[in-house]
């Protein structure tokens, strides 16, 4: 299903090339805007090169997760319009149908640009096989964190509040913007909040930190938080789905 939607999306080559160009320009301008604050030196031990790596990791994580699951953002509209009922009549799991309901052609562009930046950072950073392996593991954890906190959890509110599209979107943006901006320089309780409560640091800063100072502690804390979040996300979806289908049965009666 995803493959067919992407083929349709790139069918119009002019629009496709224009979208690619705009996406690359936007990403570049965002990176340059944040890089400007590092012209004064390092902040909390982070320099401009490490921030660029963080931005690259965030693009890679956004791109991969959104390429596979951005359809979840359509949940509020589907619930409000009744279109979600059609998914419940199909044989495949509703969450899979929802994730692949639509595609965003800019997501693979984000993933490609992020992969290029991350590749350069890995090639120019002294490391060893163990550290690289843990870095790859942290990328998987980061993708799960982004999937939970930026896509599924915020949009579950659609089952309880009508017209929640903007609310869910802003909650997801909080995670996305927090991971692409230099939140790694934050310390104290704010850092704990961005690590566990709104795990923006887990999405990008912690993976980069593993290659530079090998932060086992933050990786362990983040991994436990993400596993709990994944469990909560899947449980929340199942519970909300039972509530939604139960309401429909009562309404039909």
SS3 category, 233: helix
Torsion of CA 183, 231, 220, 140, to 10 degrees: -70
The pair of structure tokens assigned to 16 is 């496709």
pLDDT at 23: 67
The pLDDT-based confidence of 58 (bands split at 50, 70, 90) is: confident
Contact 129, 88 (CB under 8 A): no
SS3 category, 103: coil
The more confidently predicted of residues 69 and 221 is 69
pLDDT in tens, 127-174: 778 788 888 888 888 899 889 888 898 899 989 888 888 888 887 777
pLDDT in tens, 60-111: 998 899 988 988 988 999 988 888 888 888 888 899 888 888 878 788 888 9
pLDDT at 123: 86
Cα 140 from chain centroid?
11
Contact 63, 111 (CB under 8 A): yes
In the block, which residue shows the tokens 């993976």? Answer: 207
The more confidently predicted of residues 26 and 38 is 26
Closest CA to 182 of 65, 43, 59, 23: 43
pTM, rounded to two decimals? 0.79
DSSP 45: T
Residue 247 has pLDDT above 60, yes or no: no
The more confidently predicted of residues 190 and 205 is 205
Closest CA to 72 of 104, 46, 49, 40: 104
DSSP 46: B
SS3 category, 43: strand
DSSP calls for 37-71: GGGG--BTTB-HHHHHHHHHHHHHHHHHHHHHHGG
The more confidently predicted of residues 107 and 219 is 107
Contact 227, 77 (CB under 8 A): no
Structural domain that includes position 88: 2-252
Task: Tell me how far apart the alpha carbons of residues 113 and 60 are, in angstroms, rounded to a whole number.
Answer: 7
Contact 110, 28 (CB under 8 A): no
**138 phi and psi angles, rounded to 5 deg:** -65, -30
pLDDT at 236: 92
Task: Tell me how far apart the alpha carbons of residues 82 and 113 are, in angstroms, rounded to a whole number.
Answer: 37
Closest CA to 114 of 72, 176, 165: 176
* Mean pLDDT, all residues of the chain: 77
Task: Tell me how far apart the alpha carbons of residues 97 and 92 are, in angstroms, rounded to a whole number.
Answer: 7
- How many domains does one find in the chain? 1
pLDDT at 252: 38
Task: Tell me how far apart the alpha carbons of residues 252 and 170 are, in angstroms, rounded to a whole number.
Answer: 34
């Amino acid at each position: 299903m995803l493959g067919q939607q992407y083929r349709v999306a790139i069918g119009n080559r002019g629009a496709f090339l224009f979208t690619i160009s705009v996406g690359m320009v936007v990403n570049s301008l965002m990176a340059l805007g944040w890089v400007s604050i590092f012209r004064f030196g390092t902040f909390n031990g982070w320099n401009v090169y490490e921030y660029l790596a963080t931005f690259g990791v965030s693009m890679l994580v956004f791109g991969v997760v959104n390429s596979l699951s951005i359809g979840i953002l359509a949940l509020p509209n589907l619930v409000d319009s009744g279109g979600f009922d059609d998914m419940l009549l199909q044989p495949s799991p509703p969450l899979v149908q929802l994730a692949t309901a639509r595609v965003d052609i800019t997501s693979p562009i984000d993933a490609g640009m992020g992969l290029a930046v991350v590749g350069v950072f890995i090639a120019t950073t002294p490391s060893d096989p163990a550290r690289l392996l843990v870095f790859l593991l942290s990328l998987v954890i980061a993708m799960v964190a982004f999937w939970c906190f930026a896509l599924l959890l915020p949009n579950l509110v659609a089952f309880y509040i009508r017209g929640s599209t903007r609310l869910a979107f802003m909650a997801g943006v909080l995670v996305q913007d927090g991971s692409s901006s230099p939140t790694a320089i934050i310390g104290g309780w704010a850092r704990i909040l961005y690590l566990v409560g709104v795990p923006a640091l887990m999405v990008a800063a912690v993976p980069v930190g593993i290659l530079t100072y090998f932060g086992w502690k933050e990786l362990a804390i983040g991994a436990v938080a993400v596993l709990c979040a994944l469990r909560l996300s899947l449980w929340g979806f199942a519970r909300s789905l039972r509530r939604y289908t139960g309401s429909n049965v009562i309404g039909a009666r």
